Amino acid sequence: MSFSASGATAASKHRFAPWAFYGVLFGILGALSILAWGPIGVSGTYPRFIGEILGAVAPGYAESNAYIQKVGHLFSKGETFVVIGLLVGGFLGARLNREKAPACEMIHPSEKTPARRYRDAFIGGFLIVFGARIAGGCTSGHIISGITQLSVSGFIFAAGVFATGIFTAKTLKGRHLATGA
C-alpha cells in the first residue's frame, strides 16, 4: 500500500487532500479540453437556453434580439454538452461515494427557514448569471479557462469576483452577529 500503484482512489484518500488530488486532475482536464475542442465554459448556456425558448414562443422577437443572435444556438456549442455532463458528474460523484447532499443547505445565519434559503439561492443565481454575461464568462470560462490561458480578462474578473464575494459573505455573517440573534 505504501507506494503508488494501489490506484487513484487510495492515493486521494491517504496521501493527498481531495483539493490537491482533484486540482491536478482538473488542470490536466482543462488542458485536454483545449486540445480536444476548446476551453471549458458554462454561463453562455443560460442565454442560449433562453434563446431557444424565446425562439419557440416568440420567434419574431428572438430573431430581432441582438444578444440571442450573438450567443447562437444551444446545440451548436460544446459548452451545452459540458453542462449536461456536469449534471451527470454531480450525480455520479455523490452516488458512487454514497453521499447524500442536503436538499436545502443553510449557509448564512439569516437563513432560518427554507424559504429564506431559496430566496438567497434565487437572488444569487440571478446575479451570477447576469454578472457573468456582462463580463462574458463565469468561474469556468473567465477564471479557470481564462487564467489557464493567461488571459488578462480572467485576472480582472477574478479580482472583481473575490472583492465583492468575500465582502458579501463576511457581511452576511457579521450582520447576524452584530444584531446578536
Partner 1 sequence: MTPLYATLVGIAMGFFIQRVRASSPGMIVRNLRLENLSVIKFMALTMAVGMILVYGLSLVVPSLLHWDIKPTYVLGVLLGGLVFGVGFGVGGYCPGTSVVGIGEGRKDAMVAVAGGLVGALVFTVVYSVLIAPIVKVMDFGKITLADVTHQSPIVVALVVGALFLVVIKLLPTEVKQTT
Measured from the CB atom, the residue of 2 and 99 that comes closer to partner 1 is 99
Cell of 107: 449557509
Cell of 67: 444578444
CB 26 within 8 A of CB 17: no
Measured from the CB atom, the residue of 6 and 163 that comes closer to partner 1 is 163
Rg, Å, the chain Cα set: 20
In whole angstroms, what is the distance from residue 88 CA to residue 76 CA?
Answer: 20
74 makes contact with partner 1 (CB under 8 A): no
Cell 437572488, residue?
A: 123
16 makes contact with partner 1 (CB under 8 A): no
Instruction: Map residue 107 onto helix, strand or coil.
Output: coil
Site residues (CB under 8 A) for partner 1, limited to 83-102 = 83-94, 97, 99-102
Taking the complex as a whole, the smallest distance from the CB of residue 178 to partner 1 amounts, in Å, to 12
Among 81, 112, 113, 175, binds partner 1 (CB under 8 A): 81
For 15, counting Cβ atoms within 10 Å of its Cβ (0-12 exposed, 13-18 middle, 19+ buried), the class is exposed
176 makes contact with partner 1 (CB under 8 A): no
51 makes contact with partner 1 (CB under 8 A): yes
Cell 487510495, residue?
A: 10
Among 8, 10, 29, 58, binds partner 1 (CB under 8 A): 29
55 makes contact with partner 1 (CB under 8 A): no
33 makes contact with partner 1 (CB under 8 A): yes
Measured from the CB atom, the residue of 2 and 58 that comes closer to partner 1 is 58
Site residues (CB under 8 A) for partner 1, limited to 105-124 = 105-108, 117-118, 120-124
In 3D space, the residue among 126, 156, 129, 130 whose CA is nearest the CA of residue 142 turns out to be 156
